[in-house]
Amino acid sequence: MTIETNSPEETFALGQKLGEQAKAGQIYTLNGDLGVGKTVFTQGIARGLGITEAVSSPTFTIVNEYTGTLPLYHFDVYRIGDPEEMDEIGYEDYFYGRGICLIEWAELIEELIPEGAISITIEKDLEKGFDYRKITVE
């Protein structure tokens, strides 16, 4: 499924819809270049899960945890040097638990991503405008 958005609000709204529909244990992988809207999308998912707390990219930690209708585990693995760092944080408890996992830069830890994860890719196309984003969900 491919969705095109033309504003951060639209990307947020798409995330919110997915968050409202999210099933316990669902994993979403989020790929796309820096500044493409991965965090905006995540903020939408969080809202869809009833989380009112501010959600920002985990900067000094690999994962941020939030409590909503389901727990939300927001990973940003951009700074991971070695997938073994994921062992150190006990990633399996998150990936195989009942909370919702959202993993920015998941391609960097591809071998750890369980089957059944929903892949979300966000791309720009500057020919279609500065705020245009193509979002592929599969």
Using CB under 5 A as the binding rule, whether residue 39 contacts Mg ion is answered as: yes
Cβ nearer to ligand ADP, comparing 86 with 102? 102
Of 25 and 119, nearer to ligand ADP (C-beta) is: 119
Answer for the pair 104, 111: CB distance below 8 angstroms, yes or no: no
x-or-dash string of contact with ligand ADP, 109-138, rule CB under 6 A: ----------------------x-x-----
Subset of residues 41 to 70 that bind Mg ion, contact rule: CB under 5 A: 57
Q: Does 25 bind ligand ADP (CB under 6 A)?
A: no
Q: Which amino acid makes up residue 117?
A: A
- Asked if 133 is part of the footprint of Mg ion (rule: CB under 5 A), the reply reads no
Using the contact rule CB under 5 A, the part of the chain among 25-33, 35-43, 94-102, 105-113 near Mg ion is 35-43
For the bound state, the minimum distance from the C-beta of residue 115 to Mg ion, rounded and expressed in Å, comes to: 25
Question: For residue 6, which phi and psi values (nearest 5 degrees)?
Answer: -125, 15
Judge contact between 31 and 103, C-beta under 8 A.
Answer: no
Rounded distance between C-alpha atoms, residue 33 and residue 74, angstroms: 17
Secondary structure class of 41 (helix, strand, coil):
helix
Binding mask 34-73 for ligand ADP (x = CB under 6 A): xxxxxxx----------------x----------------
Report how far apart, in Å, the C-alpha atoms of 127 and of each of 9, 11, 35, 95 are: 20, 19, 17, 37
Structure tokens that stand for 110 in this block: 């591809």
